Amino acid sequence: MTDLFYWISHWLREEILAIPGRVIALVFAIILFLVPHAIPNEYFISVLILATIYSIYAASWDLLSGYAGQVSFGHSAFFGIGCYSAALLNIHLSFLPLWITIPLGGISSVMGGLILSIPALRLKGMYFSLVSLAFPVILNNIVIGFPDITGGELGLFGIRGLSKSQEYNYYLVLIVALVSIFVLCKFTSMKTKSVRIAVLLSAIREDEISARASGINTPKYKILAFSMSAFFAGIAGGLYVHIIKIAGPSTLSIMFSFDVVLWSIFGGLTTIYGPVTGVFMLYPLTELIRIFPFGDEIRFILFSLILIFTLLFMPNGLTVWVRDQLEVDCPRCKNINIFLRKTCRICGADLHIPQ
């Protein structure tokens, strides 16, 4: 028992409290758990629920676009597929519990991702981004074209809620989001020894021809990134449809695809936590500003001005800039240190070697 306690305290001290970025993440997660008790406002919590769902969506975008380098402008296709399949399963096979139908929505989204990867694997760079924009538009037209199955423009109604009360909804969504983001972070971490995927994906992103020449099966890993990303986006879509209780074509709109790109680039690419931060800063901002007078008219003007100025001064994104201010990588052992230290906390090497 004392061993376990010692292990936990050691882990907290060495792996969490020593690294400022992780302290911020921990504090933020604790705040998210406490918010419904501190501010029991229904509108505020519903905005937070949607922000949590969108954070899964943004993190999944970052896996495909940040790590694998396949900048996708059509990510709402995956979200929409997850959304519509969860809704259809819920309506037509209503005896299935939600913890089966939502993952099934994610899996059908993976199927969609596999189909979309056929043209995507043939294209590179900007061309892929431009083509990916086509997918949600085509799906949107299919949805409007077959109103008998998909409900057309009005959408599908009569979907069960996620749970009894809003507070339960919030905690369920929050736990799913934390688990998904943790999985994505571990999956894409350069330091996880058992999973080499981050190294392989960044090799593909930096130079695909060299990666192939070094014996990496690039299509395999691209398809893997596609399916992982589509799965989590589909899960986000499934949760969304049970919160909103309508599956409408707005989940397949172009603006929704660009929203995730805006959030993620604002937060910082190839970090997973960057897009999450971006969502939690920008989405509540654009929603809560409605409360103020004239808020509805100026909210997108304010939104775009904030984006333009942030990107002008921090072109790598907000979290990357903050991280570079707070943390220093040890030049010898690559461990992360707080910016105040002069020597590495693990190996004692000088952190600020004059160039």
Contact footprint for other proteins (CB under 8 A): 71, 118-119, 122-127, 129-131, 133-134, 137-138, 140-142, 144-145, 254-255, 258, 261-262, 265-266, 269, 297-298, 300-301, 303-305, 307-308, 311-312, 315-316
Hey, what are 121's tokens?
């694997």
Least spacing, CB of residue 125 vs other proteins, in Å: 7
Concatenating the DSSP letter of every residue in 224-292 gives HHHHHHHHHHHHHHHHHHHHH--B-GGGG-HHHHHHHHHHHHHH-SSSSHHHHHHHHHHHHHHHHGGGS
Residue among 46 and 129 whose Cβ is closer to other proteins: 129
Amino acid residing at 289: I
Concatenating the DSSP letter of every residue in 88-118 gives HHHHHSTTS-HHHHHHHHHHHHHHHHHHHHH
Rounded Cα distance, 19 and 165, in Å:
37
Least spacing, CB of residue 73 vs other proteins, in Å: 9
Residue among 124 and 220 whose Cβ is closer to other proteins: 124
Least spacing, CB of residue 285 vs other proteins, in Å: 14
Rounded Cα distance, 286 and 268, in Å:
19
Least spacing, CB of residue 308 vs other proteins, in Å: 5
Residue among 3 and 297 whose Cβ is closer to other proteins: 297
Least spacing, CB of residue 281 vs other proteins, in Å: 15
Residue among 119 and 348 whose Cβ is closer to other proteins: 119
Residue among 116 and 239 whose Cβ is closer to other proteins: 116
Residues facing residue 59 across a β-bridge: none
Residue among 148 and 297 whose Cβ is closer to other proteins: 297
23 closest CA partner among 326, 354, 238: 326
Give residue for tokens 């882990």: 11
Residue among 22 and 299 whose Cβ is closer to other proteins: 299
Strands (E), the chain: 327-329, 336-338
Least spacing, CB of residue 324 vs other proteins, in Å: 14
Q: Is 21 exposed, middle or buried (0-12, 13-18, 19+ CB in 10 A)?
A: middle
Least spacing, CB of residue 64 vs other proteins, in Å: 13
